[in-house]
Amino acid sequence: MEIRLTPYDHADAMKLTEQVQQEYVERYGDPDATLMDPADFDRPRGAFFVGYLGGDPVATGGWRAQDASPEGFSDGDAEIKRMYVVAPARGRGFARRILAGLEEDAAAAGRSRMVLETGVLQPEAIALYLSCGYDHITKFGHYRDYPDSVCLGKTLP
């Protein structure tokens, strides 16, 4: 898989973002309602990546800078958004590669901690993050008061 830095509103990124939103609808009944601005993923305060296999977009992931806020973020946080691998490409390590790239990129930008919010109906995502050194943290963000929300974090080197 070739990983490319792309704007959040790039056609391939939008295509995969629509697919991940549909997956949220299938699992939870609604798409993710977290406010997203493509500019949040512009350097130096963020980045968005698309993974390609044989020229086809098969994976995405991005991070955006967050600092202390009433939503529960801390100074130096890099929030992971839109991690996704298309179903036919799953189980091949692509999510791990995207995640490692996000961590490296956010650390290079001076961020001190990766954080993410997922849900109990995504056990494979939770297992991935836990196996990559993430721990449960205090809930933050749009879904912090939802019982099915799971927030994880990892200190960056």
Domain total of the chain: 1
Q: What is the CATH number of the domain that holds 45?
A: 3.40.630.30
Residues 6+ apart with CB under 8 A from 97: 1, 3, 51, 59
What's the whole-number mean pLDDT along residues 63-82?
96
Confidence of residue 152 (pLDDT cuts 50, 70, 90): very high
Give per-residue pLDDT as tens, 29-64: 999 999 899 999 999 999 999 999 999 999 999 999
Q: What is the largest CA-CA distance in the chain?
A: 43
Q: What is the mean pLDDT of the chain?
A: 96
Place of tokens 């305060």: 45
Strand-strand pairing, 77-85 and 113-119 = parallel
Give the pTM: 0.94
| Domain, as residue range, for 132 | 2-155
Measured distance CA(51)–CA(1) in Å, rounded: 6
Q: What is the pLDDT of residue 66?
A: 97
